[in-house]
Structure formats: C-alpha cells, structure tokens
C-alpha cells in the first residue's frame, strides 16, 4: 500500500483532484457556516438580481441568494451522488462476489438479472422507480442506485474471476477458511481498487442522473437546492438572469471534472502499464 | 460460430422475459391510471369506470399480463389505450427516427473524440494531454438539457436560425434531415465524445507500449505511420466496445434530447407513455429497446472476430 | 464581453453548419429564417398555412369523452356547439340561431341554423342534436358534460330544425352549458369518434401525425361563409417552452402561448407581437377540511391571513395576474370584488393569534402537494411554504408527476394542495361543481348545508339580478369557510408573428383562430 501512496502523491492530477474534492466536501459540511443566507429565504425586493455586495452571485426568481443555494446544493448533490453510488456498490459488490465465487447457475442467474436491469433504458428506469416510490430524496437515491447496480456487479465479478484461483485464495481454502471469510477477507480487499475507480466515475454519473430527473420534474423536492434542480429551474430564466444557470453549472462542472479526473488518475496509478513517465 | 450464435440468441429469451415482467410490475406500481389522467380534474367516478371498461383495465393484473405477453409472442404489440392506434407501426417509425439521431450523434462524438484521443495518447501526460482531456470531459460535466437549451437559444438569438419543424429522414432528404438533427445530435455527440475519447486514449497508450510498435518505431517509421498503420487496428477493439455500448445506451437514453427538441423518437414515445400510463405503449416500447440493446451487443461481439481474427467463438 | 465570445462560438458553429449543409445557405445566416426548405406551398407568395405551437399532444378527438385542453383546442375547431361565447363572455347563437325559454324555465326551445352540413355532406338536423345530447347523458359514454345536463328530462324533435329540451327543474345554467365544446353536436349514429372526426366546424381533420403535428383543412361548406380565413392550421407539437420561444423568434411558427417571463423577453422584439388577455383560470391552495388540524375553521382562516396573495402575483406571475375569488375576475358578470374579502389583507400577527386560539401556538407540520408538470404550481407552492413558515406551519412540498397528482387529488386524502381551476362561464360551475357537497370536483370534503342550499337555489333562479345576489352571498361564504384559498388569476400570453392577425380573448383560442387571417 505504501507504494500506492507514493505513486498517488507523485501524481499531480490525483493530488489536485482529491484536494478539490475534499474542499467540496468541506463546503458541503460547513454550509451553515459558509452560506451568507438561508438558502430558502425569499428576498421579495431582490428577485433575479445580478451580483451585489449582499448577494455575491445574485438571486433567483424568488429572490433567494444563489451563493447560499449553491453551497447548500453541494450538500444535496454530493449526498445524492455518494449515497446512490454506495447503494450500487453495496449491492453490486455483494452480487458480484457471490456470482464470481460460486459460478455455475448462481452466476448465471445473477448475471441474467443484471442483464435485465442493464438492458432497461437507464433514465426511464430511474424515472419509473421514482414515480412508483413517490418523490423524495431517499427514493431518488434508491432509484439512481438501483440503476447502477449492474455496472458494479460486473466489475466485481470480473475481478473475482481473475483472482479466485490465485495461490493465496487456494491456500486459504486449503486451510479450511469459511466461504464468507474467503469472500470478504481474501477476495474483497483485492477488488477495492477497481471499485474505487468505478465509484468515482459513477458519482459524477449519479449527479447527472439527478439533474436529468429534475429536468423531468422528479428530482430533489423544492425548496431544497440541488444543482441539477437549480439548473433545470433556471433554464426558463436563461436569458433574463444568466447567472441563475451559469453558477450551478459551474459548480457541477468542477465537481464532475474532479471526480472523473480523480478516477482516471487512480486507474493510471493502479495499472502498472499506464504508469506515467 | 453458428452454434455460438444460436446459443446467444437462446440466452436472450430469459432476459427479454425478465424485462417484460420488470416493466409490467414497475409500471403497475406507479400510482395513477390512464383513465383518470385523461379525464383530469374534470373526472366523475362513472366517467372513469366507463373509460376503464373500454380500455380493458377492469381485468385482474395477471390476466392483463398474460393477455399482453400472449399477444407479444404472436408479434402483436396491441393498441394504445389512449388513441387506439396500433403500437408496432409507431414503434418502428419512431425507432427509425431515434436511430438516425443516435447514429448521427455517435458519429459526431467519434469525429470529435478519436483524433483527440490519439493526440492525447501520443502526448500522454503533457500539457496538451491535460487540456484535451479536460475539454472533452466538459461535455459530460454539464447536464445535456442545459447544453441543448443553450444551442437552441444561441442559434435563434444570434442567427435567427431554428431547425426545420418537420422531421424528415436522411434517406428522404439528407440536407433537410441534417438541419433537423444537427443540434440534438451535437448535444448527444458531446456526451459520446467524452467516453470515446477516454477509451481511445487508454487503448492507444496500451498498444503504443507493445513490442510490435516498438519494433515498427525502431525500423524508423514515422510517428504517424506507426499510429495509423499499426496501432489503430490494434486499439480498435475497446473503442468498438464502447461505441457499441453507447449506441445501445443512447437508443434508450435519448429521451431528454428528444423531449427538448421535440423529436418524435422512441424515447419520447415511451416517456409520454409513462406520463399517460399508456401501459401497452411503455411495455412494448421498453421491450423493443431492450431487444435492440442486446442485439447491438451481440453484433459488437461479432465485429470483434472481424477486427481480430484470433478471436473465435 | 461574454456575449461576444458566445456570439463568436455560435458564428463558427453556424459557418460549419452552412458549409456542411451543401451550399443551401447564404452568406448572412439570418437569411436562413426565411423558409427555404423547398416545400412548394411554403414558397408560394401567399402564405395560407397557420402554424400554431401545441404544448401537449392531443389525446383523442371525441368531444364527449376527452376533456384534455390539448384535445379541446383541436376538436373545438372540428365541431360546433349549439351556442358559443363572444369576447365579452356573452352567449351568442352558433348552431342554434335563437332559443326560447318558457316562463317557468322548464322548457327550452332551440331553433337551429338552416343549411348546416357535416363534413361528410349530410345535413345537420334536430335528430343529430337529440342524438348528441342523449349520447352525452348515457352513463356508458362516460361523458364529462353529463353533469351539466342533469336537469334534462326529455329531448323532443319538433321538426328538422327545432329541438325542445324539457327540464325537471328550472336550470339557469343550461344555455351557458350548451356553449361548451364538451357539448358538441356529432352526427346521429356515431359510435367511435376516436379516429374519424366528422363535425360541422370550420375545419376538417386532415392528418394527425403522433408526436409531430395535427393538420386541419378549411371546411369550404362552413355555414358562416366568411370564415375561416386561412386554408390550413397546423398544430405543431413542441413541449418545451425554450423551444417554442426559439421557434417563434425565427418565424418557424406563427402563434404560440408563452409564459409571462418569455413575454417580457419578446416585448418590443422585431417580427413578434406579444398579446394577452385576462384568463378564466385561477390558482388555488386546496385545504382538506376533514383532516386535522384543517378541520378547525380557525386554522384555515389563519392560513388565509398568512398567505400574501400579492407576493404570489408578483413572484409567480411577474405581476401579470389579478387577485381572484371563487369566480375568476374575467367573468365580470358574476365575480365579486376581492376587496370585500377580509382575509385577503395579509396579517401575520392575526394569523398567529388564530392559530394559537385553535390550539397550535407553535404551529404544526404538514405537506403541500403540487404538480411538477406546471412550473407555476411548483413556484406557488414554494412561496406559500415560505409564508406559512412565518406562522410556524412547516410544510414539506411534494412535487408530483401529473398522473400521481391526479391520483392524490382524487383520493380526497391530501393535506394542502396547489392547483389550478378554470372558472366555467356560468357561475354554477365555479360554485356548485367545485364546492357543493355533491359536486364531483369537490375533493376537499367541504360540506356546508347553507352553501348547498344557496347554490341550488341560484341554479333554479331565472331572474339574473336575483341570481347574482345569491352567488355573491355564496362567494362570501366560501371565502370565509376557506376550503380553498383562491390565489391569482393570471393573464394568458401569446406570441404572434407580425404578419398574423390574431387577437386572443377570454372567449378562448378557438374563437380567435377561426377569425385569424394572414396579412
């Protein structure tokens, strides 16, 4: 692991992106301290204004402070992105481990189920799930999470297949370790790396899916600010108040870029063939 | 090869069956029903009951499922509960529109992504590499409905230009179709580009490291000869994989772009079906998209053998 | 600066576009606005086709069965009703040339216009009228308008151009109800009107291309020889407001409804005019009077005092809406001046006090249901949520997809619900249909015998002045009981190309479209 750390620290992109992501998380955590206003408070006299001393990024159609909404929006968007991916990772890993380790009909059954989920058009599936469960942050997270389970199942299964017959797993089995032990203590640690890469990419995907659901009217419930919700709301005011769409887009872009670049960098670090010069 | 094909096609059956159950279940879990949506806040209970009867929704769910799946097995997609129109002809018509949009979008994505991906790989870890990567990633960092709106707004504001409102096919009138599809296709292409570019870059990085490339280089071939002549073919497998996945994915995922640009494609048809609880439309549409998706994946596997004759099934 | 960069970006894109499109384009990109798509009829000097943007796809054309606005705007051009409304909200003759009401109000004789033909060439006669009304009243049809004609006992054909309606009780709303498009006259013997639409209207259904457009052709035999003035009307389906806006700017469409925000943008821009009228719609906050704590009238009164209707007008409708009671102010004959409602003066202190008296000094938690499909409803819910916060009521907003919203509306089990209603032309609909104990749109569980008696009496009162007085009492009673807070009645906006002579009025789009001409 220490070589990983060394390589990680030597990779400028990885370091830069992780600092950026940490800062974003910090912003989300400290939202009540950082935000100059209550993100839902409407200043009637200041609707759709440009930036000013009091409202650094201007206000929206209700006269709510955009800066505060973006800061709080980091909370909503990151929570949705990370939790949705956690849902996918937990179920995906479980299914992937089981499928890969047991093989045969278990594998066949799980993978066919994943194929079913995978072949279902993603956004329509998410939309139908939210419509069935009813709106709400938790349900949105579940919907996005369920949609992404197959990707993780495949990633983990592939990794399991490639290591399951390696020596150390064999020897663990030979000394009579329980299946659970082998799965979680011997095999799982070795699939964390591809999972990390996949997760960082999936988080950005989840944030985008939330915004698409917002566009279709089924994202995070107002007045809670999510970046996707802000963007889809601001679309109607694009010409009247461009700031309303520019700032949340910028926030989203930075986050997604950081997630993607981080994922790519970690992949490069882990993959010896891609190691930088 | 033939036995492989047959095996693959048989393996599609449980998947399609699973999808039919999944779509039927989720759809009927969604609250609301087509009759009350049609009648809206003007509804009276007797009007809803009368409409239910005429839509065949007064039957038990299992009966409805068996009736539907029985029809599907005979190739009968049924009729829309709203318009009473045959569903299959609509699906085919709209699929052709979505297909054109998707292929156009993917082409734009490739044209943008592959050269940049190669450039990025050749100059890996340089400033050029980082700039190119960030630039392509920008495409997937902004929601596509924002990009699409910006395109529409920009063209109408600055050039007074708006795509033709009647959708025509490329084989009817290519020039006109180009104008119809260009903005939505660019909106899709930007998203496609990010994935293709990333895959191209890593595929090239990998091949460029291989022995036969070193040999080719050592022989004194120019950089470009090496890239085009040797590396390209060997890097194309992962590129084809991702392109195939994207076509399959976009066919179902073009919903938002179609909605935004009023393109009467399959995605919009299904979406509208969900909103109206037009059960047979959504069920038939989703099953069709899934079928196309798995067939595209099968096709990709076949293309592998053509690219790399060493792959045998 | 930013603008210039953006313009540069689009310029280069557009150059690419013109270059790629194979020479069709000219040097100045703006020229592309002119239709050059090579369609013969578009290129001919005189434009005869009117292109109207449709926000939603029509869901069928049976006037007795389909109440969706997206369908009505189309089939009301294909069919006629016995009477219609003019721009001043007066009922004027249509298929019925004139009518007589017996002194006791129970017999109504309709004299039909002579020489009216259906699109299939058949004459429209009293038999068709009888058939149409019987089809509406048949429970198996499931017609929306069935409840409109509950007072009808029998329909008699006196001669081919005279129909007599015998009523059980006097029905002052009867004539007004015959103006509804839901009471269109269809040919005798029609069973399935979903596909073929054969009416007497000014246009014929030429083609319906799902997801794309609906094409109507002029009916050359229309009984009013001067109308319509255009050869074809094409309803082009465009669901996204941004798209409609871009399309009308570039002249691809001629007429489009737009929001008040977009109206501000288009105001004074070349090529496009913005027109508006005070609509018959109003937005409301529905309150379930059966649910605790809303069963306490003081809580409802407190909410009424807490909600600042002017802020809703300013924020949601950008000032382009009027305060409203149970009857939209555009219906000047019936609507009571909102100044007479005491609870319309926002008073947070009084609201808090009422809430304390009701036993909720610290407020309570509740939910507001709203429909995601309509941005104005979502915005209204957000404003109300903030205003209720001020008196300690914490409301969670549930933004529902339309089908789900209808389901909750039907369930009669919501807490608070934001919605929009259309006032009928006659006060009876606004008052009885929505709020009488047996009214089918009364999903608020509101039941007040005094109110029921009042509106029932008004329905049977033929004397207009007397009737008006009764409805004024009923409106005051309703606002005080507050099963709904009546919020704002917006103006409806249209963007119209300069060369189109189209004047929208409260009488509805159809009324104006028939008279529309192309300059």
Give the pLDDT confidence of C279-316 residue by residue, as tens digits.
989 999 999 999 989 999 999 999 999 999 999 999 99
Integer CA distances (angstroms), B225 to B219, B240, C247, in order: 11, 21, 48
Give the pLDDT confidence of C86-113 residue by residue, as tens digits.
888 888 999 999 999 988 888 999 999 9
Residues 165-204 of B with CB under 8 A from A: 198, 202
> Is CATH 3.90.76.10 the right assignment for the domain spanning C2-15+62-183?
yes
Q: Which domain holds residue B36?
A: 2-73
Touching subunits of A (3+ CB pairs, under 8 Å) are B, C
pLDDT for the residue numbered B197: 87
Decide: C430 and C423 in contact? Cβ < 8 Å.
yes
Mutate to test the interface with A, among B37, B133, B146 (most CBs of A within 10 A): B146
- Poorest-pLDDT segment among B170-184, B237-251, B289-303, C59-73: B237-251
Q: Is the pLDDT of residue B45 over 70?
A: yes
Q: Is the pLDDT of residue C5 over 80?
A: no
Residue C488, φ and ψ in degrees, nearest 5: -150, 145
Sequential DSSP letters for C3-60: HHHHHHHHHHHHHHHHHHTTT-S-SSGGGGGS--S--HHHHSSS--EEEEEESS----
Total residue length of chain B: 313
Using CA atoms, how far apart are residues C354 and C359, in angstroms rounded to an integer?
9
Give the pLDDT confidence of B154-164 residue by residue, as tens digits.
888 888 888 88
Q: Is the pLDDT of residue C439 over 50?
A: yes
The larger pLDDT score, comparing residue A234 to residue B249, is at A234
pLDDT for the residue numbered A273: 53
Taking the model in full, what pTM does it have?
A: 0.85
Domains of chain A: 2-33+63-274 (1.10.3720.10)
C356, with CB counted inside 10 A (0-12, 13-18, 19+), is: middle
Using CA atoms, how far apart are residues C50 and C230, in angstroms rounded to an integer?
7
Decide: B106 and B114 in contact? Cβ < 8 Å.
no
Any residues with CB less than 8 A from the CB of C274 and at least 6 apart, and which? Answer: C258, C263, C266, C267, C493, C494, C495, C496
Q: Are β-strands C49-54 and C232-237 bridged in parallel, bridged antiparallel, or unpaired? A: parallel
Nearest to B125 among A117, A215, A276 (CB): A276
Nearest to B141 among A127, A129, A257 (CB): A257
Integer CA distances (angstroms), B236 to A138, B199, B227, in order: 41, 10, 12
Give the pLDDT confidence of C171-193 residue by residue, as tens digits.
888 898 899 889 999 998 887 78
Q: Is the pLDDT of residue C242 over 70?
A: yes
Residue B139 resides in a domain: yes
> What are the beta bridge partners of residue C167?
C152
pLDDT for the residue numbered A272: 58
Q: Is the pLDDT of residue C26 over 70?
A: no
Query: Residue C313 CA to chain centroid, in angstroms?
Result: 19
Residue B98 resides in a domain: yes
Residues 253-272 of B with CB under 8 A from C: 259-262, 264, 268-269, 272
Chunked in runs of 10, what are the mean pLDDT values of chain A (277 residues)? 75 88 92 90 84 86 91 92 95 91 88 88 88 88 93 88 77 79 79 84 90 87 88 86 90 92 83 50
Touching subunits of B (3+ CB pairs, under 8 Å) are A, C
Give the strand order in the sheet containing C162-167.
Answer: C96-101, C107-112, C162-167, C152-159
Mutate to test the interface with A, among C399, C406, C407 (most CBs of A within 10 A): C399
Using CA atoms, how far apart are residues B207 and B221, in angstroms rounded to an integer?
16
Residue spans per domain, chain C: 2-15+62-183, 43-61+215-277+492-518, 281-491
Paired tokens of A32 = 């009540």
Instruction: Return the CATH number at B183.
Output: 1.10.3720.10
Q: Is the pLDDT of residue C56 over 90?
A: no
Any residues with CB less than 8 A from the CB of C459 and at least 6 apart, and which? Answer: C170, C171, C172, C173, C428, C432
- Poorest-pLDDT segment among B75-79, B169-173, B285-289, C32-36: C32-36
Using CA atoms, how far apart are residues A75 and A34, in angstroms rounded to an integer?
12
Residues B8 and B96 in one domain: no
* B254: nearest Cα among B296, B300, B294, B289: B289
Domains contained in chain B, number: 2
Q: Is the pLDDT of residue B2 over 90?
A: no
Nearest to C143 among B47, B49, B160 (CB): B47
The single-letter DSSP state of residue A182 is I
Touching subunits of C (3+ CB pairs, under 8 Å) are A, B
Decide: C197 and C75 in contact? Cβ < 8 Å.
yes
The larger pLDDT score, comparing residue B311 to residue B288, is at B288
Nearest to C378 among A41, A222, A237 (CB): A222
Residues B138 and B13 in one domain: no
Architecture, CATH, for domain C43-61+215-277+492-518: 3-Layer(aba) Sandwich (3.40)
User: Is C382 in contact with A222 (Cβ distance < 8 A)?
Assistant: yes
Residue C190, φ and ψ in degrees, nearest 5: -65, 140
Query: Looking at residues C401-409, what average pLDDT do you find?
Result: 87
- H/E run at residue C212: none
The domain boundary, picked from B43, B73, B103, lies at B73
Decide: C35 and C45 in contact? Cβ < 8 Å.
no
Using CA atoms, how far apart are residues C10 and A78, in angstroms rounded to an integer?
33
Q: What's the mean pLDDT when you consider all of chain C?
A: 85
Provide the 3-class DSSP secondary structure of residue A44. Answer: helix
pLDDT for the residue numbered C289: 93
* B34: nearest Cα among C21, C403, A85, C427: C403
pLDDT for the residue numbered C51: 93
Task: Tell the CATH topology of C281-491.
Answer: Dipeptide-binding Protein; domain 3 (3.10.105)
Nearest to A221 among C265, C379, C399 (CB): C399
Decide: C346 and C338 in contact? Cβ < 8 Å.
no
Residues B153 and B199 in one domain: yes
Decide: C329 and C89 in contact? Cβ < 8 Å.
no
pLDDT for the residue numbered B311: 62
Residue B285 resides in a domain: yes
Give the pLDDT confidence of B113-128 residue by residue, as tens digits.
888 888 888 887 788 8
Residues B194 and B258 in one domain: yes
The number of C-alpha atoms within 13 Å of A21 and in the hemisphere containing its C-beta is 20
* Res. B82 pLDDT band, cuts 50 70 90: confident
Q: Is the pLDDT of residue B138 over 80?
A: yes
Using CA atoms, how far apart are residues A45 and A52, in angstroms rounded to an integer?
14
Using CA atoms, how far apart are residues A256 and C122, in angstroms rounded to an integer?
66
Any residues with CB less than 8 A from the CB of C278 and at least 6 apart, and which? Answer: C322, C328, C329, C330, C489, C491, C506
Q: Is the pLDDT of residue C34 over 60?
A: no
With CA atoms as reference, the chain B residue closest to A130 would be B30
Provide the 3-class DSSP secondary structure of residue C116. Answer: coil
Decide: C48 and C40 in contact? Cβ < 8 Å.
no
Q: Are β-strands C96-101 and C321-323 bridged in parallel, bridged antiparallel, or unpaired? A: unpaired
* Res. C23 pLDDT band, cuts 50 70 90: very low
Residue B78 resides in a domain: no
User: Is A232 in contact with B137 (Cβ distance < 8 A)?
Assistant: no
Residue B82 resides in a domain: no
pLDDT for the residue numbered C82: 93
Paired tokens of C504 = 């929208």
pLDDT for the residue numbered B216: 74
Asked if the C-beta of C269 comes within 8 angstroms of chain B's C-beta atoms, the answer is no
Total residue length of chain C: 519
Decide: B14 and B294 in contact? Cβ < 8 Å.
no
pLDDT for the residue numbered C30: 38
Decide: A243 and A51 in contact? Cβ < 8 Å.
yes
Integer CA distances (angstroms), C500 to A170, C122, C213, in order: 82, 33, 20
Residues B298 and B184 in one domain: yes
User: Is B252 in contact with A216 (Cβ distance < 8 A)?
Assistant: no
Residues B201 and B278 in one domain: yes
Integer CA distances (angstroms), A82 to A25, A96, A228, B184, in order: 11, 20, 15, 30
Q: What's the ipTM?
A: 0.85
| Helices and strands (DSSP H and E) totals, chain B | 14, 0
* C325: nearest Cα among C430, C409, C445, C415: C430
Residue B221, by phi and psi: left (phi above 0), alpha (psi -120 to 50) or beta?
beta
């Amino acid at each position: 692991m220490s070589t990983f750390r060394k390589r990680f620290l030597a990779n400028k992109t990885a370091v830069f992106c992780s600092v950026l992501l940490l800062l974003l998380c910090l912003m989300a955590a400290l939202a009540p301290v950082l935000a100059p206003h209550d993100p839902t408070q409407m200043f009637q006299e200041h609707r759709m204004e440009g930036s000013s001393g009091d409202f650094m990024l201007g206000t929206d159609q209700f006269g709510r402070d955009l800066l505060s909404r973006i800061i709080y929006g980091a909370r909503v968007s990151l929570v949705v992105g990370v939790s949705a991916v956690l849902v996918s990772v937990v179920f995906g890993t479980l299914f992937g481990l089981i499928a890969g380790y047991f093989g045969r009909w278990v594998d066949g059954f799980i993978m066919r189920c994943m194929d079913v989920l995978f072949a279902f058009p993603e956004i329509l599936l998410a939309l139908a799930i939210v419509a069935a469960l009813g709106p709400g942050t938790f349900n949105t997270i579940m919907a996005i999470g369920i949609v992404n389970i197959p990707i993780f199942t495949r990633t983990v299964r592939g990794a399991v297949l490639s290591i399951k017959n390696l020596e150390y797993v064999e020897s663990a089995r030979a000394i009579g370790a329980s299946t659970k032990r082998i799965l979680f203590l011997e095999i799982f640690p070795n699939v964390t790396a591809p999972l990390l890469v996949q997760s960082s990419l999936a988080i950005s995907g989840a944030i985008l899916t939330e915004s698409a659901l917002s566009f279709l009217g089924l994202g995070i419930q107002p007045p809670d600010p999510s970046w996707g919700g802000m963007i889809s709301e601001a679309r109607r005011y694009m010409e009247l108040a461009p700031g309303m769409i520019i700032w949340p887009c910028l926030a989203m872009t930075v986050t997604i870029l950081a997630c993607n670049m981080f994922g790519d960098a970690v992949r490069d670090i882990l993959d010896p063939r891609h190691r930088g010069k | 090869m033939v036995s492989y094909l047959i095996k693959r096609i048989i393996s599609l059956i449980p998947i399609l069956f699973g999808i039919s159950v999944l779509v039927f279940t989720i759809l009927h879990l969604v609250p609301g029903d087509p009759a009350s949506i049609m009648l809206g806040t003007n509804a009276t209970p007797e009007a809803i009951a009368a409409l239910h009867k005429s839509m065949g929704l007064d039957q038990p769910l299992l009966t409805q499922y068996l009736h539907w799946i029985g029809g599907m097995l005979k190739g009968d997609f049924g009729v829309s509960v709203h318009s009473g129109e045959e569903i299959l002809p609509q699906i085919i018509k709209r699929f052709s529109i979505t297909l054109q949009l998707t292929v156009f979008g993917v082409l734009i994505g490739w044209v943008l992504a592959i050269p940049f991906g190669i450039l990025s790989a050749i100059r890996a870890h340089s400033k050029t590499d980082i700039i190119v990567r960030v630039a392509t990633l920008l495409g997937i960092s902004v929601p596509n409905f924002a990009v699409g709106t910006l395109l529409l707004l920009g063209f109408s504001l600055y050039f007074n230009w708006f795509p033709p409102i009647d959708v025509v096919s490329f084989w009817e009138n290519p020039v006109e179709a180009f104008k119809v599809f260009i903005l939505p296709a660019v909106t899709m292409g930007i998203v496609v580009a990010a994935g293709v570019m990333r895959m191209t870059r890593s595929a090239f990085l990998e091949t460029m490291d291989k022995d036969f490339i070193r040999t080719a280089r050592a022989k004194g071939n120019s950089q470009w000869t090496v890239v085009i002549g040797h590396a390209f073919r060997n890097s194309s497998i992962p590129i084809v994989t991702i392109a195939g996945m994207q076509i399959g994915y976009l066919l179902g995922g073009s919903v938002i772009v179609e909605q935004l640009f009023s393109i009467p494609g399959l995605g919009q048809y299904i979406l509208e079906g969900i909103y109206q609880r037009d059960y047979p439309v959504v069920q038939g549409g989703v099953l069709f998209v899934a079928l196309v998706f798995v067939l595209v994946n099968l096709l990709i596997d076949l293309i592998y053998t053509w690219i790399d004759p060493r792959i045998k099934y | 600066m930013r603008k210039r960069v953006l313009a540069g970006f689009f310029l280069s894109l557009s150059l690419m576009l013109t270059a790629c499109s194979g020479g069709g384009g000219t040097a100045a990109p703006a020229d592309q606005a002119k239709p050059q798509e090579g369609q013969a009829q578009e290129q001919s000097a005189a434009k005869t086709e009117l292109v109207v943007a449709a926000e939603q796809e029509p869901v069928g054309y049976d006037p007795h069965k389909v109440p969706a606005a997206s369908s009505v705007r189309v089939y009301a051009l294909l069919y006629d009703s016995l009477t219609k409304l003019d721009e001043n909200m007066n009922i004027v003759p249509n298929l019925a040339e004139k009518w007589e009401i017996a002194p006791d109000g129970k017999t109504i004789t309709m004299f039909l216009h002579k020489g009216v033909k259906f699109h299939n060439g058949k004459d429209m006669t009293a038999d068709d009228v009888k058939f149409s009304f019987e089809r509406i009243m048949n429970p198996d049809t499931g017609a929306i308008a069935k409840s409109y004609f509950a007072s009808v006992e029998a329909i008699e054909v006196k001669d081919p151009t005279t129909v007599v309606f015998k009523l059980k009780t006097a029905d002052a709303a009867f004539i007004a109800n015959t103006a509804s498009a839901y009471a269109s006259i269809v040919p005798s013997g029609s069973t399935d009107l979903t596909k073929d639409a054969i009416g007497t209207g000014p246009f014929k259904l030429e083609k319906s291309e799902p997801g794309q457009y609906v094409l109507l052709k002029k009916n050359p035999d229309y009984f009013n020889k001067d109308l319509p003035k255009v050869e074809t009307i094409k309803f082009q389906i465009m669901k996204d407001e941004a798209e409609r806006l871009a399309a009308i700017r570039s002249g691809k469409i001629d007429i489009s409804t737009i929001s008040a925000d977009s109206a501000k943008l288009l105001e004074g821009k070349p090529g496009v005019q913005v027109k508006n009228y005070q609509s018959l719609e109003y937005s409301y906050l529905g309150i379930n009077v059966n649910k605790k704590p809303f069963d306490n009238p003081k809580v409802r009164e407190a909410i009424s005092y807490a909600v600042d209707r002017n802020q809703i007008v300013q924020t949601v409708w950008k000032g382009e809406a009027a305060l409203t009671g149970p009857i939209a102010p555009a219906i000047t004959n019936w609507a009571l001046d909102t100044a007479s409602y005491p609870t319309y003066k926002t008073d947070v202190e009084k609201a808090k006090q009422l809430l304390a008296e009701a036993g909720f000094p610290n407020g309570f938690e509740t939910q507001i249901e709203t429909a995601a499909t309509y941005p104005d409803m979502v915005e209204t819910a957000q404003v109300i949520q903030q205003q209720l916060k001020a008196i300690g009521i914490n409301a969670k907003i549930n933004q529902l997809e339309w089908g789900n919203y209808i389901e909750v509306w039907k369930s009669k089990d919501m807490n608070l619900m934001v919605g929009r209603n259309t006032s009928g032309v006659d006060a009876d609909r606004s008052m009885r249909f929505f709020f009488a104990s047996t009214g089918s749109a009364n999903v608020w569980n509101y039941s007040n015998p005094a109110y029921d008696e009042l509106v029932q009496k008004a329905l049977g009162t033929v004397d207009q002045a007397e009737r008006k007085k009764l409805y004024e009492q009923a409106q005051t009673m309703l606002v005080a009981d507050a099963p709904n807070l009546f919020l704002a009645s917006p103006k409806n906006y249209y963007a119209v190309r300069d060369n189109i002579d189209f004047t929208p009025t409260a009488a509805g789009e159809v009324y104006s479209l028939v008279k529309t001409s192309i300059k």
